[in-house]
Amino acid sequence: MPPEAAEPSAGNLPVPVWLMVLLFVLLYAGMVFFDRFSGWFNAEVYMPYASLSDLQAFQPRGGGGPSPEHVRAVYENNCGLCHSNDGKGKPGQAPPYVGSEWVLGSPERMIRIPLSGLSGPVQVEGTEWNLSMPSMGAALSDDDLAAVLTYIRTSWGNKASAISPEQVKAVRAQIGARSQPWTAEQLKAVP
Amino acid sequence: MNYGPLLFLAAFFALAGSWFGFVLTPQAQIGQLQQTNILGAPTLYPQARPGLARQGLEVYRANGCADCHSQQVRQSATVCDVLLSAAGTNPPAVLSALFKVKPGLSEPDARQCLSSLPQRLLEGLKPEEADTAVKVLNVAGAKAVVAIVPVGPDIARGWGKRRSVARDFIFDYPVALGSQRIGPDLANISMRQPDAGWHLRHLYAPRLEVKGSAMPPYRFLFEMRKIERCPSPDAMVLPRDAGPPPGYEIVPKPEAIALVAYLLSLRADAPLFEAPLTFAPGAGAAGGTNAPAAAELTPTNAPAASDATPTNAPAK
């Protein structure tokens, strides 16, 4: 009976140098690629953006002021609930914007109304209203308030000048921390 | 086997490494995504799907829709366009600014451009180039803005306006991403085809609505029944040769209505921080980019869809 061949066993063989070099080159290339395109695992950075700063360069510019959809949403959430989304007002709740002399008249006067509110008797387009409006605009930013006032002055057939955030800022500075609502007479004294 | 422990360790690290890379890291990265505000608007996105649409996702799973339809829009790049919306009050200055930002523009073309505003003046710029051009134009008194425009083959097909991102799917379980595109991508199907009646007829007989469609009909989602005293308000309006025999009507089962509610809830085109885009006012963004797919989907031998709309509409 011939002797049985020994079990094969793995021996030791050095890893070739070229393989080591190749692995390190691949590792280095991978690190460079990662550095450039990974966005460092930021969950908001997707292809084709390479990094957060690249993504930020593509954000919409604020140059044109708030977007029309945004202004409309601000209007509907703050003004339209009472004054109605078509600006026609609601009987017993709020006077109309369309054709109102308070809307189309002095910007200084108009900006004051949302900042501190208005209560007591007021004539709008020949009709007398006697209600109380809270300071709906005090919590809005200058940009939003200016945009929404401009929206009111230029929508539904209204044609009046735009109101800029600077004007709103100036009025805010003039009236300071006023908590009392205006009366119609006080507003009429404003140029 | 004189290296048993080494082999065990190698296998262990290979499996642990892939678990770490494919399960743990993504969970840490996007596992906690929340609703967020749409860019430039106080609207939260995404909104949870309505209950019927959520049931529709189960029907979508059960029928293997995801085997042929993906729900992921790819985007290969983002470019900036310059939109000119107003010429201002100083025409000579604006003209010279136009020549500066668009060299090679002839004078008649420039005047033509100024007389038909708003205009998409420059296309396919890098952000810094677009900012420079807008600055030059605005200094001259004109009103120009930068529009962010995602581009890519899927977007050119009208399958979406921007790439899909993980946030689009946070209310879906499981996420029906799909991997094959035997049919078109459905990530924005309700943007392309918002008509519930169309979807029902398409499920019942795909080739009625899309000529040469490879989709099998899903007639088991419908029921043919004898008309009793008066026809059901839900009955399908079909052309005579595809319709039921006289005295019978075809009515969608609840599964079909849920599936259509789900399809009508598929829309992911809100601009987000991680996927910015601008809806260009007046530049026909919605109509323009959607054109190829819309043409493809135009009903060819369909019954008059507009007449039939009220009958098949499930609660939206």
The domains located in chain B, with CATH, are 37-75+155-312 (1.10.760.10), 78-149 (3.30.1390.10)
DSSP string, B263-276: HHT------BTTB-
pLDDT in the model for residue A66? 67
Residues of B in contact with A46 (CB under 8 A): 163, 165, 274-275
The pLDDT tens digits of the residues spanning B225-274 come to 999 888 888 899 888 888 899 899 999 999 999 999 999 999 998 899 99
Q: Report chain B residues touching chain A, CB-CB < 8 A.
A: 2-3, 25, 29-30, 33, 39-43, 75-78, 80, 127-128, 131, 134, 138, 143, 145-146, 148, 163, 165-166, 271, 273-278, 281
Residue B54 has pLDDT above 90, yes or no: yes
Q: How far is CA B284 from the centre of its chain?
A: 16
B256 Cβ contact partners less than 8 Å away, ≥ 6 residues apart: B59, B200, B203, B218, B221, B222
Say yes or no: A6 contacts chain B, CB-CB below 8 A. Answer: no
Given a cut of 50, whether residue B282 has pLDDT beyond it is no
Q: Look at residue B1 in the predicted model and tell me its pLDDT.
A: 62
Q: What is the pLDDT of residue B119?
A: 79
pLDDT at A186: 83
Q: Using CB atoms, which residue from A10, A43, A63 is nearest to B145?
A: A63
Minimum Cα–Cα distance from B128: chain A residue: A57
Query: How far is A70 from chain B, CA to nearest CA, in Å?
Result: 5
- pLDDT at residue B280 is higher than 80: no
Phi-psi region at A87: left, alpha or beta (left = phi > 0; alpha = psi -120 to 50) = left
Q: Name the residue with higher pLDDT: A103 or B283.
A: A103
> pLDDT at residue B307 above 70?
no
% residues pLDDT > 90 (chain B):
54
- Predicted confidence at residue A174, as pLDDT, reads 85
Tell me, what DSSP letter sits at residue B23? I
Check residue B22 and report its DSSP letter. I
The half-sphere exposure of A74 on its side-chain side, counting CA atoms within 13 A, is 25
Q: Does position B294 have pLDDT exceeding 70, yes or no?
A: no
Chain A residue numbers touching B124 (CB-CB < 8 A): none
pLDDT band at B304 (very low <50, low <70, confident <90, very high): very low
The pLDDT, as a whole number, for residue A21 is 97
pLDDT at position A23: 97
Query: Residue B57: pLDDT above 80?
Result: yes
**Within 10 Å of residue A112's Cβ, how many Cβ atoms?**
22
pLDDT given for residue B300 in this prediction: 35
Over residues B98-153, the pLDDT tens digits come to 888 888 888 888 888 888 777 788 889 999 999 999 888 888 888 888 889 999 99
Phi, psi of A145 (to 5 degrees): -65, -45
Total-model pTM? 0.67
d(C-alpha B47, C-alpha A50), whole Å? 28
Is residue A13 within 8 angstroms of chain B, CB to CB? no
| Confidence grade of residue B312 (pLDDT, cut at 50, 70, 90) | very low
Q: Considering only residues 67 to 96 of chain A, which have any Cβ-Cβ distance to chain B shorter than 8 Å?
A: 67-70, 73-74, 77
In the structure encoding, which two tokens stand for residue B263, read together? 């399809």
Q: Predicted confidence band at B219 (pLDDT cuts at 50, 70, 90)?
A: very high
Measured between CB atoms, which of A9, A48, A70 is closest to B75? A48
**The tokens of A92 are what?**
């017993």
CA distance B76 to chain A (A): 6
Tell me how long chain A is.
Answer: 191
Q: What integer best gives the mean pLDDT of chain B?
A: 84
Q: Is A9 on the interface with B (CB under 8 A)?
A: yes
Q: Which one has a higher pLDDT value, A93 or B62?
A: B62
Q: What is the pLDDT of residue A119?
A: 86
pLDDT-based confidence at B169, cuts 50/70/90?
A: very high
pLDDT band at B95 (very low <50, low <70, confident <90, very high): confident
Q: Give the DSSP letter of residue B168.
A: G
Task: Give the closest-approach CA distance of B284 to chain A in angstroms.
Answer: 16
CB pairs under 8 A between A and B: 70
Minimal-distance CA residue of chain A relative to B32: A43
Cβ-defined contact of B33 to A60 (cutoff 8 Å):
no
> How far B163 CA sits from the closest chain A CA (Å)?
9
Contact residues for A3 (Cβ-Cβ < 8 A; gap 6+)? none
A contact test, residue of B78, B84, B165, B168 with most A CBs within 10 A? B78
- Asked whether this complex has an ipTM greater than 0.85, the answer is no
Mean pLDDT split into 10-residue runs, chain A, 191 residues: 79 90 97 89 88 89 65 84 86 87 87 87 86 82 86 84 84 82 83 77
Please say if the pLDDT value at position B289 is more than 80: no
Residue A145 touches partner B, C-beta closer than 8 Å: no
Task: Please report the pLDDT score of residue B279 as a whole number.
Answer: 65
Which of B6, B45, B148, B170 to probe the A interface (max A CBs under 10 A)?
B148
Question: Which pLDDT score is estimated for A67?
Answer: 67
pLDDT of residue B162: 93
pLDDT at B199: 95
Residue ranges of domains in chain A, CATH in brackets: 17-56 (no CATH), 68-188 (1.10.760.10)
| Tokens linked to A160 | 């009046």
